[in-house]
Amino acid sequence: MRRLVFLLGSGVSIKAGMPRVQEITKVVRSGVCDGKLYRKSSDDSIWDTTDQRSVYSDSEESERQDVLRLIQCAYDRCKKFYARDVTYEDVAYLIWQVEQHLCPNYENVALVPLTQRLGRLFTDGGRLKELSIAAGNYIRSVTADFLSKDPSPLGTMPALIDLCRDTRFKSVEIFTLNHDRVVEAEFAEAHIPFTDGFDIRDNDRLYWNAEAFSRPEPRVRLWKLHGGIDWSGYSDTGRIGKGGKQIAQIRGPRILLGGFNKILDYSGGIYLDMFINFRLALRDTNRIVVSGYGFRDKGINRLLLDWWDQSNASKLCIIHDDPDGCLRNGRGAVEKLIDNPRVVKVWRWFGDVSATEILSAIGDAKS
């Protein structure tokens, strides 16, 4: 029987009430959400909201202001460079580069003038490394906080649910770049059995187990290529899992943010497991359904284009309100897909299409 493969991006979650990129970017820049300030918690890696009337020390407030100033500097610099709207991920990527250069993990001589200029903005220029680390944790915390809201309404992915129930498919492989829990909530609402790889229980924790995907059941498999808001790294075991006390987390929620730095993350740990299995899934199919993805992740694009070039039988189904515009706004390498007859375009949002429409678009898949 056939394998059905999906690649989903953040666009598929909007109908379920998840925030848009620019909404998150606005709060990241301001540090305020619904009248509450984001401040560092007792765990240095996590920032959460507190009433503005709460009393904090001068040093804590000074650090908060410095982090926001660094973020604004990064935003302004990105705005001068990019010929498009700047997002929180652009800011996170620039700050990550500064942090990694100063640590130094990935030193870069080209960054010396920038780090010197940024250092002069603060009373203690030597604190730039600590501020860049704090800013990265702050952006990650705000993003996870925004995406942790319960999806509402549910029932926003009827085609996906129907195809997961279709027993003609040996497996349904859903690779998502989303950190939120919309797909999981939709599956729970529809009583769809699935695995996300976290199935080794230890008290109140579920640990990652790559072998969970090798079993024939459940047929539906969810791969979160960029991590999840409920993923944690535990300092006492050194393992990745879900659940347990927050104090055991390492550097807050395990989610990938930024730009080209994600390619480095794909080379190790749980993300390498995900990345390898995405490639293996592509090798085993000549059809893939893509929706909600902007084609701007160079690592993901590379796998897609390698798969595309290997066989003239490969067919890519893009579900989007404007598939051509989506491709044009992606990386340059995907422009060749715009007018290719092997790209089937469904000019509708993911939540508005039916399973029948998707099956018609992809035609017969490889057994």
pLDDT value at residue 185: 97
pLDDT value at residue 35: 80
pLDDT value at residue 177: 98
Token output for 35: 């009248």
- In angstroms, the Cα distances linking 171 to 108, 111, 149, 203, 274 are 44, 46, 29, 30, 16
- The superfamily CATH assigns to domain 2-18+151-362 is TPP-binding domain (3.40.50.1220)
Phi-psi map region of 137: left, alpha, beta (phi>0 left; psi -120 to 50 alpha): alpha
**Per-residue pLDDT tens digits for 4-40:** 999 999 999 999 999 999 999 999 999 988 888 888 8
- In angstroms, the Cα distances linking 182 to 11, 154, 209, 217, 280 are 11, 8, 22, 22, 25
pLDDT value at residue 61: 85
Half-sphere exposure of 128 (CA within 13 A, CB side): 24
Task: Give me the residue spans of the domains in the chain.
Answer: 2-18+151-362, 21-147
pLDDT value at residue 110: 95
pLDDT value at residue 215: 92
- In angstroms, the Cα distances linking 323 to 19, 86, 181, 187, 343 are 21, 22, 25, 26, 10
pLDDT value at residue 246: 55
- DSSP letter, residue 250: S
Q: Residue 319 in 3-state DSSP?
A: strand
pLDDT value at residue 44: 67
CA dihedral of 192, 196, 197, 200, whole degrees rounded to 10? -70
User: How far is CA 330 from its chain centroid?
Assistant: 16
Check: CB of residue 47 under 8 Å from CB of residue 137: yes
pLDDT value at residue 39: 84
Scanning 148-297, the segments in alpha helix (DSSP H) are 158-165, 182-190, 261-265, 269-283
Residue 194's identity, in one-letter code, is: F
- In angstroms, the Cα distances linking 302 to 9, 53, 223, 345, 362 are 16, 49, 18, 20, 21
* Full DSSP string of 88-121: HHHHHHHHHHHHHHHTTSS--GGGHHHHHHHHTT
Q: 248 exposed, middle or buried (CB, 10 Å; 0-12, 13-18, 19+)?
A: middle
pTM: 0.93
Counted residue by residue, the chain has a size of 367
- Where the chain has pLDDT below 70, the residues are 1, 42-44, 50-56, 123-125, 244-252, 364-367
Q: Residue 145 in 3-state DSSP?
A: helix
CA dihedral of 79, 81, 86, 88, whole degrees rounded to 10? -100
Q: Residue 194 in 3-state DSSP?
A: strand
Helix orientation angle between 58-81 and 88-102, rounded to the nearest 10 degrees: 110
Cis peptide before 19 (omega within 30 of 0): no
pLDDT value at residue 260: 95
